[in-house]
Structure formats: structure tokens, C-alpha cells
Amino acid sequence: MINYLSISGFVQAATLQNCRISDLVLEQQASQLEQTQQQVYQTMEESFHVMQQAVLDGVYPDLRSTSGLTGGAAFQMKCAVDEGKNICGPFFGSAMVKALAVSELNAAMGKIVAAPTAGSCGILPAAVLTMMEQHHLPEDTAIRALFTASAIGMVIAQNASISGAEGGCQAECGSASAMAAGALVEMAGGSPQQVSHACAIALKNILGLVCDPVAGLVEIPCIKRNAMGTANAFVAAELALAGIQSAIPADEVIIAMKRVGDAMPSSLRETAEGGLAQTPTGRKLQAQIFGG
């Protein structure tokens, strides 16, 4: 029985059995939940469809968060992409639209999949859906990649944290980015070892990222960090698929993230007592919403 204590455990088992990490996770989850693999797959398929709908709902031009602080960025990005005005073209632009759309929908109290958290909900769907659409991959490939992503998230949760209040934004957007990077590699036909390297690279790139929500709300800077986390996932996946390895193994990077999170002052762990939340504009926005 595969546990969720290490990335290397999944890599070794998948290599030994000459299968994908997602195959192992699907089989293990079916056994643990006492369900058929088809039942477990259908549950993930439902989550996948929620992700798709969240993208559609999140690009509505008049979408606004309850606070009124955010909304409409996904629509603006979509217009730029549709008009050919974005620098990196439709592939990258489409990913940015999706990341913004899902995270803005979350701020507007819409239905999303916490992957692994609500604050980082735009990264995994943006990466997976863009990869599927731009490379014309079957939906099954995307759904199965979510199992690989979930395994990475479980290992991080077991050994470090996926909570901004505990480990800073590295634990939320960082974890989501690592999950997305691993999913992208599997979707591209990469090896389990390359999945592990992509996970490690993605986490290393966001190591130390603080959680400093303005007014304590999951909006500023969280929404734009979802776009950044998506970009990071593609960078990590590209490097790993090119054969570039992480000098530090994924499991060691996860432990390092845990130690960095533990060393962060409370002011930088979702308390809104430091970072961007305590800039003059950050304090002004807080007063605007909650009063003096």
C-alpha cells in the first residue's frame, strides 16, 4: 500500500510498476475508500467539471467580490489575449485568464475547487485546462493528472503545510504550483522522476513567499499570485521535461519549506499585520471596508 509520506515513494513505485503516478493514486484511493476505481474517477471528474465552470463564470465582466476590492481582471486579460495584445501569445495568455477567473470567482463567493486551498484555487485548473485545450488532449488525460497533483498535495500536507496561516503563501500558492507542475509533466508524457523534479523546482521558486492579505481578505495580492503560481508551474514543468533536474530532491524541498514557514513571524502568516497589508494603501483599503 502506497502512503503519502514522500514524493520519492510514489516515484519508486511508479517506476517499478512502469506506470504513471496517477495510476497508483487511483488504485490506492479506491482501496482506501472501499470504492471501485470508476467511482473514485467519477468523483474527480466532477471536480474537474467544477473547475471548468469556474473559469467560465469567472470571466464575467461585471463580476465583483463581496468587498468590492477585486473583479474584472480575468475579463480584461481575456480581451487582451483575444485581441492579440498580450506579450506571450494565446497559450500563456489563456492560462493567465483561467488563473484570474477562478480566483476572482472565489473572492466573489462562487463555486470553486480548493486545490489545495481556496486562496490558491486558480493555479491547478489554469495549468491543467490550458494544457488540455492548447495541446488538444482528451479530458481523461487532464482528470488523471489531477490524481498526480493530489498526491503531491497530500505529501506536502503531511510533511509541511498547505495553510497560509501556518506556513505563509508558499504553503498555498507554492503547494498549488508544485501540484500543477507535476500534473503538467504527466500530461506531457513525462516520467515519474520528471514529475518529482518539476514539483521540487516549483516549490524552490516560491520558497519564502509570505501571506499578507490586505484587510485579511483572500483577494489582494492573492488573486495575482494565482497567476504567478500558474506561470511558475509551467516554468518548472518545462525545465523538468527538458531533462533539467532539481539539485535538491522534492522531499527535501518540502521539509525546507516547512522550516521556512516555521521561521516566519506571525505578521507574515495570514494575520494581515505585515507585508502588503500594512502598506499605507493596504491600511487605507482596510479602513475603507471595515471602518477606521
Spell 226-237 as b/e; 16+ CB within 10 A means b.
Answer: bbbbbbbbbbbb
Residues near 127 by Cβ (< 8 Å), separated by ≥ 6? 95, 180, 181, 183, 184, 230, 233, 234
* Residue 67 domain-assigned (yes or no): yes
* Residue 195 domain-assigned (yes or no): yes
* Residue 24 domain-assigned (yes or no): yes
User: Residue 261 has what pLDDT?
Assistant: 98
DSSP designation for 211: B
* Residue 35 domain-assigned (yes or no): yes
Query: Side chain identity at 279, as an amino acid letter?
Result: T
* Residue 1 domain-assigned (yes or no): no
| pLDDT tens per residue across all 292 residues of the chain | 678 899 999 999 999 999 999 999 999 999 999 999 999 999 999 999 999 999 999 999 999 999 999 999 999 999 999 999 999 999 999 999 999 999 999 999 999 999 999 999 999 999 999 999 999 999 999 999 999 999 999 999 999 999 999 999 999 999 999 999 999 999 999 999 999 999 999 999 999 999 999 999 999 999 999 999 999 999 999 999 999 999 999 999 999 999 999 999 999 999 999 999 999 999 999 999 998 6
Which structural domain, as residue segments, surrounds residue 202? 7-290
User: Residue 292 has what pLDDT?
Assistant: 66
CA 90/CA 130 separation, integer angstroms: 10
Beta strands in 101-233, from DSSP E residues, in sequence order: none
Domain count, the chain: 1
Q: What is the DSSP string of 178-193?
A: HHHHHHHHHHTT--HH
User: Residue 3 has what pLDDT?
Assistant: 81
What spatial distance separates the first Cα and last Cα of the chain, rounded to whole Å?
Answer: 55
Beta strands in 62-162, from DSSP E residues, in sequence order: none
CA 102/CA 176 separation, integer angstroms: 13
CATH classification at residue 180? 1.10.4100
* Residue 137 domain-assigned (yes or no): yes
C-alpha Rg value of the chain to the nearest Å: 18
* Residue 2 domain-assigned (yes or no): no
User: Residue 4 has what pLDDT?
Assistant: 86
User: Residue 190 corresponds to which cell in the numbers above?
Assistant: 513525462
Greatest alpha-carbon pair distance for the chain in Å reads: 61
